[in-house]
Structure 1
Amino acid sequence: MQRRELLKSLAAGALTLAGGGTAGASDWPARPVRLVVPFAAGGAADTMARILVEKLREAAGYSFYVENVVGAGTMIATEQVARSAPDGHTFLLAASAHTINPAVQRVRYDPIGDFTPVNLVVSPLHVLVVHNDLPVRNAAELIAYAKERPGKVRYGSVGHGTSTHIEAELFARMAGIELVHVPYRGSAPALQDLVTGRLEIMFDALASSKPHMEARVIRSLGVTSAERSSLLPDMPTIAEAGLPGYEAVPWLGLFGPAKLSGDIVQRLNAVVGQVLKTEDVKRRFAELGLEILCYEPERFASFIGADLKKWDQVARDAGLKQVN
């Protein structure tokens, strides 16, 4: 998306947030509200969504339910919500794929113009983990190790064009090193190969890597966030550990379709914020490796614009852009 088009879309989104839309909040919700989750049941994102729905019911009496719509790297669910009526009865639990997919392939929706941001809820903490026998203790040593072995250091991901893939490409581009990408169908098989030494490194969610870290069969060199996480307060950031300026923020947030009433947006944002402050939610989300963000709609919109631009540039630099 060109810069002028991006600014026009952001401006249109701001107008929507200011109160545009087709339905007011006075009689909302008039029926059960569908939260479309583009992931299979049982995973961290699905579990997070079900906790959120449960707490929304308790806090405000909202009749929400989760519908899992899986396929095409979240694009089927995303397109479905983009085409839904802006009446406040369909929402999307979007993920980092929302800003990464348009950078690596053609999508059939506008990631800004077809949606109304509601709340950037959490960041699933990601870590850079390495095989236990790799003779490096921080990001700076890993970079030096890779520079001495161009094209020899292998990293796993949960698939081409996923957050764990593009985070590693950002690391490689910034560090000036050549890494070999090995895509997998999920985190578990990639981690198994990391444990056994078939891979040297991997960017992964804390939730899936933590048991292996605690068993001391892999170790983390740092978190991908710009600041240290409350979930791992003693773990340095990758920027601190040897690659200044590195930052990758995986995320999960709520969108409605475009032209959703600003009244409904603000009402739902407020009750989500209320829910995220409860000790039970904080504890349960921490157990899932989720750091609470709770961005309001305007800040969420700005974040999305910057994230789209960032990953588009990384994809172009790494030659990941596909046309299909």
Structure 2
Amino acid sequence: MEETMIPKLLAALGALLLATAPHTAAAFPDRPIRLVVPYGPGGITDIAARILAPRLGEELGQQVIVDNRPGGAAMLGFGLAARAEPDGHTLVLATTALAANPVLFRNIPYDARRDFTPVSLVGVVPMVLVVPPSSPARSVQDVIAMLRARPGEVNYGSAGNGSGNHLATEMFNHAAGGLRAVHVPYRGGGQVMTDLMAGRVSYVFAVLPTARPFIAGGQLRALATTGAARSPAAPETPTVAEAALPGFELYEWLGLLGPAGLPPAVTAKLQAGVAAALRHPETAQRFRDIGVEARGSDGAALRAHLERELTRWADLATHVRFEVAE
């Protein structure tokens, strides 16, 4: 073969390899992105996803489609995202459940540490301790006193075993000295709020955006929020830390993750898109309006946050007896 032919053959081979190779990270995204929400429509995770998705789509140049996949204490949606192709076109908006489920369920179809690529924290949502208007409790100290006076008799409501209400209340009861109360789990947040307003349960730690309309309407009394500082959405309400338990801090959180093995260039592009979306004045205001504190981050920060959350709930499980499901 003539030496002059070799460069031409190499060039042709290179062009063929480029033509037949998979799309590279530089081409990402080349089709719509699916954002899995592991809950049904209407909850805070779904609402936040639908605020974020259009703006993130504009930043990335492709439509971001919210895909609600409720079921199995969010494990159905998490499992779907973990098994997806790691090309950035399937993401999941994760919540506290990703970190708490290992202490509540024996058989989980994914590993929270190994099966995901953390992309970015999206926001945190403080919770609020609420009681019915008929309750004699008018402060956090009153609730603690009530529980101490009637150990194992006072009840609290939640949206179900393993829900944020359930976990937050057990965290509070433990922090207040190992107080005992009766857990009344419901099949969703709507019924627990209805029964709380009617006085059939004594107290609930509710997600602030869910409780705000009832607080504003006088149907519930807010005693404290769970953030490190007072929430801009309820500046008149003290925190649990300032009212009774110094150092107490608890948020529901929202974080964007992809399947394990997401290419670093794709992860970086997604991070930049989330950061730009959260900086946009309209998106930031809409998050504030629903009580979500927008907090972008890089993947390392989200991984560290997830690790702290996994440790937090595993530690609580050594002090609190949770009903573990299959």
Same fold by TM (over 0.5)? yes
C-alpha separation in 1, matches of 2:24 and 2:292: 32
Determine if the alignment matches structure 1 residue 111 to structure 2 residue 109: no
Secondary structure in 2 matching 1:240 = helix
C-alpha separation in 2, matches of 1:213 and 1:93: 28
Q: TM-score, normalised by structure 1?
A: 0.89
Counterpart position of 1:46? 46
Deviation at 1:57, TM superposition (A): 2.4
Deviation at 1:128, TM superposition (A): 0.7
> Which structure 2 residues correspond to residues 197-208 of structure 1 after superposition, within 5 A?
197-208=199-210
Secondary structure in 2 matching 1:251 = strand
Counterpart position of 1:315? 317
Task: Answer whether contact 1:23 1:86 (CA < 8 A) is retained.
Answer: no
Deviation at 1:98, TM superposition (A): 0.5
Task: Answer whether contact 1:100 1:162 (CA < 8 A) is retained.
Answer: no
Structure 1 residue runs of 5 or longer lacking an equivalent are: 1-21
Determine if the alignment matches structure 1 residue 164 to structure 2 residue 165: yes
Q: Provide closer, same or farther for how the CA distance between residues 23 and 136 of structure 1 changes in structure 2, counting only shifts above 3 A.
A: farther
Counterpart position of 1:193? 195
C-alpha separation in 2, matches of 1:42 and 1:249: 19
* Cα deviation code 1:54-108 (max 9, x no counterpart): 1122233223211111110110111111111111111111111111111211212
Task: Answer whether contact 2:278 2:284 (CA < 8 A) is retained.
Answer: yes
Task: Answer whether contact 1:158 1:183 (CA < 8 A) is retained.
Answer: yes
% identical aligned pairs: 38
Counterpart position of 1:291? 293
Deviation at 1:217, TM superposition (A): 2.2
Deviation at 1:323, TM superposition (A): 5.4
Q: Provide closer, same or farther for how the CA distance between residues 305 and 24 of structure 1 changes in structure 2, counting only shifts above 3 A.
A: farther
Match of 2:277 among 275, 283, 288: 275
Task: Answer whether contact 1:222 1:237 (CA < 8 A) is retained.
Answer: yes
Q: TM-score, normalised by structure 2?
A: 0.89
Counterpart position of 1:10? none
Q: Return structure 1 stretches of 4+ with deviation > 4 angstroms.
A: none
Task: Answer whether contact 1:56 1:272 (CA < 8 A) is retained.
Answer: yes
* Corresponding pairs, count: 303
C-alpha separation in 2, matches of 1:265 and 1:67: 20
C-alpha separation in 1, matches of 2:317 and 2:250: 14
* Cα deviation code 1:137-176 (max 9, x no counterpart): 2212211121111122111000011111011011111112
Secondary structure in 2 matching 1:239 = helix
Amino acid at match of 1:95: T
Secondary structure in 1 matching 2:112 = coil
C-alpha separation in 2, matches of 1:260 and 1:315: 32
> Which structure 2 residues correspond to residues 1-324 of structure 1 after superposition, within 5 A?
24-106=24-106, 107-176=108-177, 177-320=179-322, 322=324, 324=326
Task: Answer whether contact 1:139 1:243 (CA < 8 A) is retained.
Answer: no
C-alpha separation in 2, matches of 1:323 and 1:190: 21
Structure 2 residue runs of 5 or longer lacking an equivalent are: 1-21
* Cα deviation code 1:252-299 (max 9, x no counterpart): 110000111111111111111111111211221122221112122111
